[in-house]
Amino acid sequence: MLAEELYRPLAQKLVDAEMNRREVVRLTAEYPDLTVEEGYRIQDELIAIKQEQGHRVIALKMGFTSQAKMKQMNVHEPIYGSVFDYMNVEDGVLHLDELIHPKVEAEIAFILGSDLEGPGVTGAQALAATAYVVPALEIIDSRYENFHFTLPDVLADNTSSSRVFLGSALHRPDGMELDLVGVTLSINGQVKDLGAGAAVLGHPAHSVAMLANMLSRKGRKLRKGDMILTGGITGAHPLSEGDVVTGMWGGLGSIQFVVTR
Ligand code: OOG
Ligand code: MG
């Protein structure tokens, strides 16, 4: 069991790694018995540190909700983390100088129109509670060396949260078949990856339901107005200076950004 006094310093170590843009050795190298629960407790400390610094959570995110992501990172269990205000990029430019080894992945985000409280929330209930959906390109940037981690490590590291580009148009989900929405992810005009909403647990609304159910175990619930990133439909792709990245979603529009130093 991880000693009580270690949660804060381990969270601080990951906050520092992000701020200094320096990768660190995964926590399980030193603490091989770290559990999933302890990983979430370090994440809670990390969120508290950021909030003390004046940052605000703008979205929750699910991870490892598709085969593409689970296979790529060799983690086979859905996870959740937080996205902060400073991570939201609105000028279409990703600055490599601020990051370690960023990768991009295509997702669908939900914005709730009513509260959603587990346990036992279904995909249909999650969809009924959804006011809008919006496409998202998520930038993940593990603070760990070579992007190598185990499940407890990536939980402690706030699920590699780094940046997010959101589509500019909100779409009502009514009558939309989000499982059948096709997505392409292109870099410099070349399609690097593609998929459909169904890649995410059969339907991205299942990811929102799962999050509500996971949070209920901690006495938490999702609230009206909350935004949820439902997880990568595509695998994550590394980025280089000069790249022009384009995500296109059937019926939801597109997002483009450029990568600079
Ligand atoms: C962890 C974050 C996973 C997703 O959409 O599956 C994630 C990682 O892959 O580094 O954001
Ligand atoms: Mg993601």
* Structural domain count, the chain: 1
Specify if 253 maps to a domain: no
Q: Is 160 in the pocket of ligand 1 (CB under 6 A)?
A: yes
Q: How much is the average pLDDT of 85-109?
A: 98
Nearest residue by C-alpha to atom 3 in ligand 1: 63
Tell me if 190 is assigned to some domain: no
Residue 199 exposed, middle or buried by CB count within 10 Å (0-12, 13-18, 19+): buried
- 138 contacts 87 by C-beta, under 8 angstroms: no
Q: Which ligand is nearest to the CA of 66?
A: 1
- Decide if 254 is inside a domain: no
Q: CA 223, CA 220: separation in Å to the nearest integer?
A: 10
Query: How far does the centroid of ligand 1 lie from the alpha carbon of residue 160, in Å?
Result: 6
Share of the chain above pLDDT 70, in %: 100
Q: What tens digit of pLDDT does each residue of 109-150 get? A: 999 999 999 999 999 999 999 999 999 999 999 999 999 999
Query: Is the C-beta atom of 178 inside 6 A of ligand 1?
Result: no
For residue 119, what is the domain's CATH number? Answer: 3.90.850.10
Domain that holds residue 67: 4-181+197-239
Note whether residue 164 is domain-resident. yes
Measured by CA distance, the residue closest to atom 8 of ligand 1 is 160
Whole-number Å distance between alpha carbons of 211 and 121? 9
Pocket flag, ligand 1, residue 106 (CB < 6 Å): no
Of the chain, the percentage scoring pLDDT greater than 90 comes to 99
Q: Is residue 256 part of a domain?
A: no
Q: How confident is the model at residue 204 (pLDDT cuts 50, 70, 90)?
A: very high
Q: What mean pLDDT do residues 24-41 have?
A: 98
Within a domain: 248: no
Task: Return mean pLDDT, the chain.
Answer: 97
pLDDT at 7: 98
Nearest bound ligand to the CA of residue 72: 1
Which residue has the least CA distance to atom 11 on ligand 1?
A: 63
